[in-house]
Amino acid sequence: MSVCLDIRRLSAVLPNGQRVLRSVSLAVQPGEVRALVGESGAGKTMIGKAVLGVLPKSVRIVEGEMLIEGEDLGRLDAKARRNLIGARTALIPQDPLTALNPSRRIGAQMTDRLIRILGWSGDRADKRIRQLLDEVQIRDPQRVLKSYPHELSGGMRQRVLIAAAFAAEPRLIVADEPTTALDVTVQKQILRLIAQLQRDHGTAILFVTHDLGVVAKISQKVSVLYAGKVVEEAETAQLFAAPQHPYTRALIAATPRYTDPYASLKPVDKTVLKGLTAEIEAADKAWRPGHG
Amino acid sequence: MAEPLFSVRGLKLALPDMTRKPLVGRAPLAEILKGLDFDLPKGSVTGIVGESGSGKSTLGRALVRLLEPSAGSIGFDGRDISHLSEAELRPLRRDLQMIFQDPMSSLNPRHTIFNIIAAPLRQNGLGDRLKERVAEALQRVGLPQNFASRYRHELSGGQRQRVGIARALALSPKFVLADEIVSGLDVSTQAQILTLLERLAAEMGLTVAFISHDLSVIRRLCQQVIVMREGRIVEASATDALFEHPKETYTRDLLAAIPLPEIDPDWLQPQAPA
């Protein structure tokens, strides 16, 4: 089986020449959850957008390859690329309220993609959506399908978007901070659902998050990002057992743990940040676009 | 236990429910706080925790009297402030300070950091020795003196939140309300701000109400915790007792829902039916 998502030495720049992604390499195997973790500005959402082909116009990819199930996106023309991304990937967004159209009913929005992009019949799409609503434990699908987004709670809206993401059986889902806006008790339910559906459907997930707690619970592999650079990647269990990079160790120590208040919440040491800056500068100096 | 700075009894508060407002006419009132009783001991940091809609922010705004209660009393430093007029409250304002969640929207973009910190000093009759007082406020929160001439957009998120703290503490208030002050920050910055507040509260003997949706940041900082749900207090106790022996199911559920940064394969397993 080919690698589900393979990103090789991906670099992107802003119009002023500043690098926002620095030779990022990462792979997601079929059916596995890879977390992309980092603080704001680390480029984790940018990578998700690059995979989905929705980078802002100002960001230009200057080197590297992205392959979805062995097909190199860079070798396809725009239409073929859109079709491939549309058929094999899906997104679970951070904020379900902005991701849903406020003036259309949930049902229409959920079947849209199946009917218009994949060319399914209305009946088939409707049946599929009901099946998925059942999988995300929505007990009254009739009411939900007829509702407008504002009539549902945050947790319900996120369930709807999870169902929609899995409906077309994508090979890869990009989940971009899907629980960040939710209360903790709802977050736990939603993470459970994502894990359950991911297992049942054998879907690979690129899970973008700032929360190492979420990383520990949901992922099998993890890439730690800083300033658009992968500073460490490991199996998740390994990362928490023996973090290698000083920044990873600092992030873990800064994350609050109510079970151990005095060993957690440690401010990140200045020498760690200085070391990171030096590392990034050295990498930029050695970097020649287009020549690896 | 120290004598209370705040003594709250039977506090109820209703606000217009805009989701049920008719096209013409007034919105009906919805009761947000449904009868709360608690004390905040002098010099202590109290965590107020709850999920969205629990009323924790409304409670905070009632304590600093940005909102007026519909019933009950708020005793502050031995005086009932629950129905004081704006004019009567003015002399108390310097003792009731706030640090806000989002320093980006709570700092005026057109004012220098100097003016942002100086404004409440001027308004409260501390306009003499302004330079000295602002310098002291910046130093207290660990910001370099040359930040006085900067604007908010020139600062990082953590630095902005330090300015918010400097402004609130410049008046040496008796009480500080900190409403979700770290929820918009990265973990590395969050840890810095929390340890800063922890140190300043101890040094200045502040009474602090620390409102948060996140129980995991509470334990280190707070001596006591109030857990709220739907406008009521579910459980209130000393911090260690609450974390080690939570009495209420709801508190236990809240704790169990926090994803700790450690491997636990059982965490995502569906719960066995009770």
Distance from CA of B72 to the nearest CA of A (A): 30
Pairwise pLDDT comparison (A101 vs B20), residue with the higher score: A101
The structural domain count of chain A equals: 1
pLDDT classification of A181: cutoffs 50, 70, 90: confident
Domain annotation covers residue A292: no
Domain annotation covers residue A291: no
Residues 6+ apart with CB under 8 A from A110: A129, A145, A160, A163, A164, A167
pLDDT over 90, % of chain B: 82
User: Which residue(s) pair with B7 in the sheet?
Assistant: B39, B75
Domain annotation covers residue A211: yes
| CA triple B65-B71-B72, angle to 5 deg | 80
Is the CA virtual torsion B193, B47, A249, A227 positive or negative? negative
Per residue in A113-123, pLDDT (tens digit) is 899 888 899 99
Mean pLDDT, chain B, rounded, equals: 93
Q: Which of A39, A186, A265 sits opposite B186 (nearest CB)?
A: A39
Q: Is the pLDDT of residue B102 over 90?
A: no
| A150 in reach of chain B (CB within 8 A) | no
The rounded distance, in Å, linking the Cα atoms of B53 and B213 is: 10
Per residue in A205-222, pLDDT (tens digit) is 999 999 999 999 999 999
Tokens 């040359």 map to which residue? B146
Per residue in B40-52, pLDDT (tens digit) is 999 999 999 999 9
| Contact between chains at A258 and B215 (C-beta distance less than 8 A) | yes
The rounded distance, in Å, linking the Cα atoms of A3 and A67 is: 8
DSSP-assigned letters across all residues of A71-97? EEGGGS-HHHHHHHHHHHEEEE-S-HH
Domain annotation covers residue A121: yes
Domain annotation covers residue A276: yes
DSSP-derived 3-state class of residue A123: helix
Domain annotation covers residue A60: yes
Query: For position B271, what pLDDT does the model report?
Result: 64
| CA triple B99-A269-B192, angle to 5 deg | 10
pLDDT classification of A263: cutoffs 50, 70, 90: confident
| Mean pLDDT in residue range A74-89 | 93
Per residue in A124-169, pLDDT (tens digit) is 999 999 999 999 999 999 999 999 999 999 899 999 999 999 999 9
Domain annotation covers residue A207: yes
Mean pLDDT, chain A, rounded, equals: 93
In A207-226, which positions are buried (b, 16+ CB within 10 angstroms) versus exposed (e)?
Answer: bbbbbbbbbbbbbebbbbbb
Domain annotation covers residue A155: yes
Pairwise pLDDT comparison (B103 vs A234), residue with the higher score: A234
Beta-carbon contacts below 8 Å between A and B? 110
pLDDT classification of B274: cutoffs 50, 70, 90: very low
Pairwise pLDDT comparison (B264 vs A117), residue with the higher score: B264
ipTM above 0.95 for this complex:
no
Domain that holds residue A36: 5-286
Which domain CATH number covers A134? 3.40.50.300
Interstrand relation of B4-16 and B71-76 (parallel, antiparallel or unpaired): antiparallel
| Contact between chains at A256 and B254 (C-beta distance less than 8 A) | no
Q: Is the pLDDT of residue B213 over 80?
A: yes
Residues 6+ apart with CB under 8 A from B208: B44, B45, B46, B175, B176, B177, B178, B197, B201
Run of H or E including A249: helix A246-254
Q: Is the pLDDT of residue B90 over 50?
A: yes
Tokens 């743990």 map to which residue? A257
| Contact between chains at A188 and B259 (C-beta distance less than 8 A) | yes
Residues A220/A32, Cβ–Cβ less than 8 Å:
yes
The model's pTM is 0.92
Distance of CA A276 to the CA centre of its chain: 24
